[in-house]
Structure 1
């Protein structure tokens, strides 16, 4: 298409806009003056058509506009043994605080369920010595921790003086978060169990949701 001169471009603009203004006169009016239909969208449309016909690059910049991005999919957490220890610790600490006896915890024995029974109640590898040390350090403000494998659910003597037995289940990777279940035998006659959603925040792991927590006598 031949390039339009300034005069020809001005004439085409006036003719185009004049035709569009006549169309706006035919639009029905609203009952409220503040809601009268505006001619601006029609004039902008006419200008856009004219720009294409004249061979002029016409564009509108929109903040945030761009090609549609596919929905993000959760990525693997790439957990380490240290991460698992921190996840166990935050779950155990939360459960111990929720049922903390009046006099505080005197002793809490942690059972490594990978060692329990012929079916191994926990499928993962045994809790390593380094993991045990880290769990004990992270939970130390709530309770002193010791470890045991094969044993009955309660100590040989139970005098209801702040002794508990905890069981740590496997850490389950859910893509963008982890889940862990912790069981606790306390007060000589109570089982309290909880399942938590745990998310990474820097080097730490925090509980962002408690799926359920229940106590059975």
Structure 2
């Protein structure tokens, strides 16, 4: 770029800081020369430094560009089994006979024409095995497709019957409903918030619960 004369450089600065021309008139003269060039150069230098500092501060304090939200991975049959297992484990520890559970029957109503039947596919053998492992420290469980005769639960208050419902996907978490019948006269229902932590699903909140006796 060719070297500019004082007048050319002054004109360039005046155009750049045209809205501040009035301020220049009020600035003290930098030299005895009638030209305003030294004052304009000083003002330009200060503004350049301040602009650089502000730019640096804004870069330091600025948040990283927001990344688009990751699309949740599709829930698998294993996920459903873990969600049911977590909900069952929480329920069976919350409602527990003094001497512990002798046995808990889990109803899979997916293929039975009941009013509250699940809409999803029947619980597979792999899912049942996983759920059994997840709940084993709370209670031994077994699976049935329909409500068993009332006699076993009435003879032994340590035997319970559980009905599970379809897992409801809520974006960043899932919800699972569980209903427990025990001692021939007690119903306990609950809706749980279940979230995935690393590779396992855990109950993080009780969203609703209700108990009834007769």
Tell me the TM-score normalised to structure 2 length: 0.71
Question: Counterpart of 1:63 in 2: which secondary structure?
Answer: helix
Q: Deviations 1:55-85 (Å, cap 9, x if unpaired)?
A: x966333324158637x65733411111110
Q: Deviations 1:160-209 (Å, cap 9, x if unpaired)?
A: 43010001100111111111101110121111011111111111111111
Measured in 1, the distance between the counterparts of 2:62 and 2:137 equals 51
Aligned to 1:51: 48
**Which structure shows the bigger proportion of residues in helix conformation?**
2
Measured in 2, the distance between the counterparts of 1:47 and 1:167 equals 77
Aligned to 1:205: 201
Aligned to 2:19: none
Residues 178 and 198 of structure 1 are in contact (CA less than 8 Å); yes or no, is this contact kept in structure 2? yes
Aligned pairs for 1:62-77 (under 5 A) are 62-65=59-62, 69=66, 75-77=71-73
Aligned pairs for 1:60-139 (under 5 A) are 60-61=56-57, 62-65=59-62, 69=66, 75-117=71-113, 121-139=117-135
Q: Summarize the Cα distance change of 1:144–1:65 in structure 2 as closer, same or farther, 3 Å threshold.
A: same
Q: Summarize the Cα distance change of 1:69–1:159 in structure 2 as closer, same or farther, 3 Å threshold.
A: same
Unpaired runs of at least 5, structure 1: 9-14, 20-45
Aligned to 2:155: 159
Measured in 2, the distance between the counterparts of 1:51 and 1:178 equals 55
Measured in 1, the distance between the counterparts of 2:71 and 2:208 equals 25
Residues 167 and 182 of structure 1 are in contact (CA less than 8 Å); yes or no, is this contact kept in structure 2? yes
CA deviation after TM superposition for structure 1 residue 156, in Å: 5.1
RMSD: 3.5
Measured in 1, the distance between the counterparts of 2:163 and 2:82 equals 15
Runs of 4+ residues deviating >6 angstroms? 2-5, 46-49
Aligned pairs for 1:17-56 (under 5 A) are 50-51=47-48
Residues 168 and 176 of structure 2 are in contact (CA less than 8 Å); yes or no, is this contact kept in structure 1? yes
Residues 111 and 145 of structure 2 are in contact (CA less than 8 Å); yes or no, is this contact kept in structure 1? yes
Q: Summarize the Cα distance change of 1:182–1:153 in structure 2 as closer, same or farther, 3 Å threshold.
A: farther
Measured in 2, the distance between the counterparts of 1:4 and 1:171 equals 78
> Which stretch of the first structure deviates more once superposed, 107-116 or 144-153?
144-153
Tell me the TM-score normalised to structure 1 length: 0.70
> Which stretch of the first structure deviates more once superposed, 79-88 or 156-165?
156-165
